[in-house]
Amino acid sequence: MKNILVTGGLGFIGSHTCVELINSNFNPIIIDNLDNSEIWIKERIERIAGQTVTFYQGDCRDKGLLDQIFTDNQISGIIHFAAYKAVGESVDEPLKYYDNNLGGLTAILEVSQKHGCSNLVFSSSCTVYGTPDSLPVNETAQIKDAESPYGTTKIICEKIIQDLVKSVPSYKSILLRYFNPIGAHESSLIGELPLGLPSNLVPFITQTAVGIRESLTVFGNNYDTKDGSCVRDFIHVTDLANAHIKALEFLLDKNEGTCEAVNIGTGNGNTVLELISTFEKVSGQRLNYSIGERREGDVEAVYADAKKSQDLLEWQAKISLEQSLRDAWNWQKTLEK
């Protein structure tokens, strides 16, 4: 059974990926500094998967700890999630984002190379496209200046990995550009855990529906879209997790170096108002929401051209928007108010 280092493995996408790694006969080795996750997620992963997972509490910038992990375990590949990801916070605290997101990646690259591990799946984002010139957006689209320091860290991290592969031709990496991850594991044992006020849409919807939040504000309904609200490509977190397994298997099968960016989305766009109406349908709950001003930095519409993920990774999204929102709602109802 191959050991896979999963940085940020107790986070939203990381935890779901650890479950799917075990389902695919890999052994996840988790490092997480618990900045944006909870230690009890480890036990939940173990309960779902039916086996214990190795966990190191610590920061990816700690090269001594990374050295220890690579010495303790024969690591065949890395899935690098660990990064700060709140768009708004990154505008207020850019240095925190550059230090953590860039420093964590360079430390991982340096130590993994030293230990002869050259397979990296990197957690990137469709945010690198900014406002695409055409839709659906594919991987050859121009990388635009990001709307936030968070987005800029994703662009720079992709370039760091691309430059490394140019200098070390045996290095192999897949850059997964996520669209909008939503939902929760079908067991309702793990899911999205925003600390404090959620910035993302779906946790705000479910917290409003369960009574934690008074009401949801829809950030603008005067865009040039079918109902005036923004369009996004919402993908179930379990589908997203499985894309990481496919990317890892692609790298492990490859003999020569590579660096490929791949969109991970459903290929469908839905508006914010469609999401709300779909949530009301699947939950049977009326949602209290109002229309507000546009949010600074929001892109009017973005959704994936999902062809490359099918051709290169033999992966495609399978879970419906309805099921994603049902899973998100079931998860929310397990959380204390």
Catalog residues that contact ligand WQD under the rule CB under 6 A. 85, 87, 125, 127, 180, 199-201, 204, 216-219, 230, 232, 272, 295, 298
In this structure, the number of other CB atoms found within 10 A of the CB of residue 293 comes to: 9
Cβ pair 302, 126 in contact under 8 A:
yes
Q: How far is the CB of 101 from ligand WQD (least distance, A)?
A: 12
**Can you tell me the distance from the alpha carbon of 6 to that of 21, in angstroms, rounded to the nearest whole number?**
10
Beta carbon nearer to ligand WQD, 199 or 258: 199
Q: How far is the CB of 314 from ligand WQD (least distance, A)?
A: 24
- Both tokens of 237, joined, read 């977190």
User: Cα angle vertex 22, ends 71, 250, to 5°?
Assistant: 80
Beta carbon nearer to ligand WQD, 75 or 132: 132
Q: How far is the CB of 143 from ligand WQD (least distance, A)?
A: 14
Query: Is residue 87 exposed (0-12), middle (13-18) or buried (19+ Cβ within 10 Å)?
Result: buried
Exactly one of 56, 150, 178, 303 is catalytic; name it: 150
**Can you tell me the distance from the alpha carbon of 110 to that of 74, in angstroms, rounded to the nearest whole number?**
16
The β-bridge partners of 184 are: 191
Beta carbon nearer to ligand WQD, 87 or 247: 87
The DSSP line for 62-95 is -HHHHHHHHHHS-EEEEEE--S---HHHHHH-HH
Q: How far is the CB of 27 from ligand WQD (least distance, A)?
A: 26
Beta carbon nearer to ligand WQD, 59 or 192: 192
Question: Could you identify the residue written with the tokens 């050295």?
Answer: 67
Beta carbon nearer to ligand WQD, 144 or 295: 295
Mapped onto helix, strand or coil, the DSSP state of residue 105 is helix
Please give the DSSP secondary-structure letter assigned to residue 295.
P
Gyration radius of the chain's alpha carbons: 19
Q: How far is the CB of 258 from ligand WQD (least distance, A)?
A: 24
The β-bridge partners of 234 are: 180
**Can you tell me the distance from the alpha carbon of 217 to that of 291, in angstroms, rounded to the nearest whole number?**
6
- Any residues with CB less than 8 A from the CB of 39 and at least 6 apart, and which? 10, 57
Q: How far is the CB of 108 from ligand WQD (least distance, A)?
A: 19
Beta carbon nearer to ligand WQD, 70 or 122: 122
129 is an active site residue: no
Tell me which residue has its CB nearest to ligand WQD: 230
**Can you tell me the distance from the alpha carbon of 50 to that of 56, in angstroms, rounded to the nearest whole number?**
19
| Residues designated catalytic | 150
